[in-house]
Structure 1
């Protein structure tokens, strides 16, 4: 039996001092006190990232996916305050999707930290738009119509929690309803679907929007358009990339105001080069790319983004510094809201600071910078 331990920090909402006692990796007691030294950091549940394609040189969708890569990503993200993450498997032939899902499943079976950190898998595609622009960098030759039977086959290989689809297909609503009946949550993304198609998808059971504002045509009609429809529908909870490059600050601010902080969450959508040192890199998809000091990853010689290259913690800081949210408000978008989605996908809730919850905690400065992480009761150093 492990000895009791603890951590203390200020409540980001009230400023009160929280003394948190931990036993066997679980929060056993939370004591509140009004007085505290000014230098005491803030304390929060660990960050929850629902969309990670890769990190620090490891790719969820490698040609030969391995459980070791998933374990390495888990450790690197924890050092940056992310204690729950969802591996994202992208558009590919079905056998390649199964291989990636199997690698995540084996990582969860072999490593206790991966098992604790990864509740399930997100499959982004292959049921996406086949149009340049909304398709993004997804392989055009692997895109295919929505197929609930294929989703069920994935679930036989490993724990698939949600799938991103474009509801432009003629049978989209019926297949979305079947996917939901099978126990998988549906998100809308990478789409050229019109407003009526999107509403029909939500009527059929779609609950989420995947990185809204990206994975769409660069030019849209003023109205109606798919962004307005998803912002207006209160049945949808919307994900956003807040790296400062995928969405300008004023756009992100307006979108969060439209959805409300209780229906908005951040994702990193990070790729293999995220967390790497700035420089030029040769990639398997897209060729030569450049990562600059701000975390912008672009194709050399163009203004086109080559993916997201920062962790969720940078997105938290962007909300505080550029979008005008308080630390407490911003934290909800990276803890309790995505944690609620984890629960709706069939896993235990995450992102909560409550007695009985796992002691996945972070210490933060006022601007949202991560100072240290506690994962299941053990303290880790932070890398920002």
Structure 2
């Protein structure tokens, strides 16, 4: 039994100013008011990142299992207790081999699943995706990837305006895979057709999509306004202005807003030259951009930084915690397992100091060595 007590506990829709979390084995057994003196600090649910390409100098995008373990360990030390390994637009053979390599890591619990960000994306809005490997949606390719993953494939991003995209979205939903809309030049109507087909996530909304206009609202307004869609936001002050983040989260509410990192290998590393999907990326001042054209190429963000940024933008602790944990967990079908400090769920929590920096991380009832602020 482990007792975390005397701390402020962010539990669902409330904050317990002097609370406790009792852990039995790998599960949360009880959450309540602490009768003793407070010790300081804040306990929040373990963060859930559904869109991350790497970190700590390692990448998910090459399909190397050793690299994946290193990247996952880096983000775990920053409080991310559940994460999807996000792959970028790649040749078919790399996508398949990466799926086969990562499926055992999902079985072990190192990863919560695999996310394909591409290759079924808009040429005009591909951003840092490699245009050489973009292609139209293929249900045959998706069937092969899903089969190879044996349940590991959880999320696929698709541009809904492409030929065959709606059929691909329907197939994903039928196979129990979450379909996301992103890297798209779709109209408002084309976006809503994707939602109607079954898409339930918006990939880093505002970024990699046609910008909104009051006469041509495009995908941004469609996704923000769609009641069944969870919208991802990269809260680093680079992808989105803090005012945009606060406004968008007000539109969606915390139940439909998910903080993500979109982090690449350079997260936690010095400025320099890195690689993403076969393309050179230059990192300067912590900002990652493609060497060839200066397009933003993911981020160097961690989820604890995103959480602090959201609070700094004016969101409450409760709302920021939901956006960093329970909402993304629910978006990929894990709400009954992780994402909240609630009895019965896996004992994943992050202890934060007065400045919301990471003090300690617990995953499945065990403290993680090397937790970092």
Q: TM over 0.5, yes or no?
A: yes
User: Which aligned pairs between 1:129-278 and structure 2 lie closer than 5 A?
Assistant: 129-131=122-124, 134-158=125-149, 159-217=152-210, 223-277=216-270
Q: CA deviation at 1:197?
A: 0.9
Q: CA deviation at 1:188?
A: 0.2
Q: CA deviation at 1:218?
A: 6.1
- Structure 1, unpaired ranges of 5+: 110-114
Q: CA deviation at 1:118?
A: 2.0
Match of 1:354 among 342, 345, 364: 342
Q: CA deviation at 1:314?
A: 0.7
Equivalent residue for 1:6? 3
Equivalent residue for 1:382? 371
1:157-196 Cα distance to aligned partner (Å, 9 max, x none)? 1110110000112433233222211221110000001111
**Do the aligned partners of residues 184 and 14 (structure 1) sit closer, same or farther apart at CA in structure 2, a change above 3 Å counting?**
closer
When the two structures are aligned, how many residues end up with a matched partner?
A: 365
CA distance in 2, matches of 1:97, 1:302: 25
Q: CA deviation at 1:318?
A: 0.5
Q: Secondary structure at the match of 2:94?
A: helix
CA distance in 2, matches of 1:165, 1:349: 27
1:290-338 Cα distance to aligned partner (Å, 9 max, x none)? 332xx322357986423211111111111111x2011221111001111
Whether the 8 Å contact between 1:93 and 1:142 is mirrored in structure 2 is yes
Q: Secondary structure at the match of 2:136?
A: coil
User: Which aligned pairs between 1:288-367 and structure 2 lie closer than 5 A?
Assistant: 289-292=282-285, 295-298=286-289, 304-321=295-312, 323-343=313-333, 348-367=336-355
Q: Secondary structure at the match of 1:307?
A: coil
Q: CA deviation at 1:221?
A: 6.5
Equivalent residue for 2:91? 93
Equivalent residue for 1:60? 60
CA distance in 1, matches of 2:99, 2:307: 28
Whether the 8 Å contact between 1:297 and 1:306 is mirrored in structure 2 is yes
1:80-114 Cα distance to aligned partner (Å, 9 max, x none)? 111001001111111110111122113345xxxxx
- Structure 2, unpaired ranges of 5+: none
Q: CA deviation at 1:224?
A: 2.5
**Do the aligned partners of residues 304 and 182 (structure 1) sit closer, same or farther apart at CA in structure 2, a change above 3 Å counting?**
closer
